[in-house]
Amino acid sequence: KAGVTQTPRYLIKTRGQQVTLSCSPISGHRSVSWYQQTPGQGLQFLFEYFSETQRNKGNFPGRFSGRQFSNSRSEMNVSTLELGDSALYLCASSRPEEGGGISPLHFGNGTRLTVT
Protein backbone atom coordinates (compact mmCIF):
# COMPACT_ATOMS: atom_id res chain seq x y z
CA LYS A 1 0.00 0.00 0.00
CA ALA A 2 1.47 3.34 -1.04
CA GLY A 3 2.23 5.79 1.73
CA VAL A 4 1.55 9.50 1.91
CA THR A 5 3.18 11.24 -1.02
CA GLN A 6 4.26 14.85 -0.91
CA THR A 7 5.53 16.86 -3.84
CA PRO A 8 7.88 18.46 -4.41
CA ARG A 9 10.50 17.30 -1.90
CA TYR A 10 12.47 20.53 -2.08
CA LEU A 11 11.58 24.09 -3.03
CA ILE A 12 13.57 27.28 -3.08
CA LYS A 13 11.61 30.51 -3.35
CA THR A 14 12.31 34.18 -2.84
CA ARG A 15 10.53 36.53 -0.48
CA GLY A 16 7.20 37.76 -1.76
CA GLN A 17 6.55 34.77 -3.98
CA GLN A 18 3.86 32.21 -3.38
CA VAL A 19 4.10 28.44 -3.26
CA THR A 20 1.77 25.45 -3.52
CA LEU A 21 2.55 22.12 -1.92
CA SER A 22 0.76 18.90 -2.75
CA CYS A 23 -0.16 15.85 -0.72
CA SER A 24 -1.68 12.52 -1.75
CA PRO A 25 -2.95 10.54 1.24
CA ILE A 26 -2.96 6.80 1.73
CA SER A 27 -5.77 5.22 -0.23
CA GLY A 28 -8.94 5.19 1.86
CA HIS A 29 -7.75 7.92 4.22
CA ARG A 30 -10.11 10.87 4.11
CA SER A 31 -8.51 13.09 6.74
CA VAL A 32 -5.46 15.13 5.76
CA SER A 33 -3.51 17.34 8.15
CA TRP A 34 -0.62 19.73 7.60
CA TYR A 35 2.16 20.58 10.04
CA GLN A 36 5.07 22.97 9.89
CA GLN A 37 8.32 21.71 11.40
CA THR A 38 11.13 24.08 12.33
CA PRO A 39 14.12 23.62 14.67
CA GLY A 40 12.92 26.40 16.95
CA GLN A 41 9.18 25.72 17.12
CA GLY A 42 8.98 21.98 16.54
CA LEU A 43 5.81 20.72 14.88
CA GLN A 44 3.05 23.27 14.62
CA PHE A 45 -0.45 22.38 13.39
CA LEU A 46 -1.58 24.23 10.30
CA PHE A 47 -4.97 22.73 9.38
CA GLU A 48 -6.99 19.55 8.97
CA TYR A 49 -9.40 18.60 6.22
CA PHE A 50 -11.98 15.88 5.95
CA SER A 51 -14.26 15.37 2.95
CA GLU A 52 -13.19 18.72 1.51
CA THR A 53 -14.07 20.60 4.70
CA GLN A 54 -11.59 22.30 6.99
CA ARG A 55 -12.38 21.10 10.50
CA ASN A 56 -9.63 22.88 12.41
CA LYS A 57 -6.99 25.51 11.81
CA GLY A 58 -3.86 26.42 13.72
CA ASN A 59 -2.58 29.85 14.66
CA PHE A 60 -1.02 30.86 11.39
CA PRO A 61 -1.61 34.04 9.38
CA GLY A 62 -4.06 34.09 6.53
CA ARG A 63 -1.19 33.77 4.07
CA PHE A 64 -1.37 30.06 4.80
CA SER A 65 -4.31 28.33 3.20
CA GLY A 66 -5.27 24.87 2.10
CA ARG A 67 -7.88 22.83 0.38
CA GLN A 68 -8.88 19.25 -0.17
CA PHE A 69 -10.25 17.71 -3.30
CA SER A 70 -12.97 15.09 -3.73
CA ASN A 71 -10.31 12.36 -4.10
CA SER A 72 -8.89 13.41 -0.68
CA ARG A 73 -5.72 14.86 -2.18
CA SER A 74 -4.78 18.14 -0.55
CA GLU A 75 -2.81 21.24 -1.33
CA MET A 76 -1.53 24.03 0.85
CA ASN A 77 -0.60 27.46 -0.37
CA VAL A 78 1.58 30.10 1.18
CA SER A 79 1.38 33.56 -0.35
CA THR A 80 3.78 36.48 0.06
CA LEU A 81 6.55 34.28 1.41
CA GLU A 82 8.68 35.48 4.30
CA LEU A 83 12.10 34.26 5.40
CA GLY A 84 10.48 32.76 8.50
CA ASP A 85 8.36 30.46 6.37
CA SER A 86 11.44 28.33 5.68
CA ALA A 87 10.58 24.95 7.16
CA LEU A 88 9.75 21.34 6.54
CA TYR A 89 6.05 21.05 5.74
CA LEU A 90 4.58 17.69 6.66
CA CYS A 91 1.34 16.23 5.45
CA ALA A 92 -0.34 13.39 7.31
CA SER A 93 -3.39 11.31 6.60
CA SER A 94 -5.58 9.17 8.80
CA ARG A 95 -8.73 7.12 8.70
CA PRO A 96 -11.49 6.92 11.29
CA GLU A 97 -10.67 4.57 14.13
CA GLU A 98 -13.11 1.85 14.97
CA GLY A 99 -15.14 2.94 17.98
CA GLY A 100 -14.49 6.63 17.31
CA GLY A 101 -11.05 6.81 18.91
CA ILE A 102 -8.19 9.06 17.88
CA SER A 103 -6.64 7.94 14.63
CA PRO A 104 -2.85 7.74 14.34
CA LEU A 105 -1.32 10.00 11.73
CA HIS A 106 0.61 8.62 8.77
CA PHE A 107 3.15 11.17 7.60
CA GLY A 108 4.74 11.85 4.26
CA ASN A 109 8.43 12.69 3.99
CA GLY A 110 7.68 16.38 3.75
CA THR A 111 8.47 19.29 1.49
CA ARG A 112 11.47 21.33 2.53
CA LEU A 113 10.83 24.97 1.68
CA THR A 114 13.67 27.45 1.70
CA VAL A 115 12.84 31.13 1.33
CA THR A 116 15.71 33.42 0.35
Q: Which residues bind another protein (CB under 8 A)?
A: 4, 6, 31, 33, 35, 42-43, 45, 48, 50, 55-56, 58, 90, 92, 100-102, 104-110
Please, what is the minimum distance in Å from the beta carbon of residue 68 to another protein? 13
Please, what is the minimum distance in Å from the beta carbon of residue 16 to another protein? 29
Please, what is the minimum distance in Å from the beta carbon of residue 15 to another protein? 26
Residues 6+ apart with CB under 8 A from 99: none
Nearer to another protein, 84 or 96 (CB): 96
Nearer to another protein, 2 or 102 (CB): 102
Please, what is the minimum distance in Å from the beta carbon of residue 81 to another protein? 22
Nearer to another protein, 14 or 38 (CB): 38
The C-alpha atoms of residue 52 and residue 50 are separated, in whole angstroms, by 5
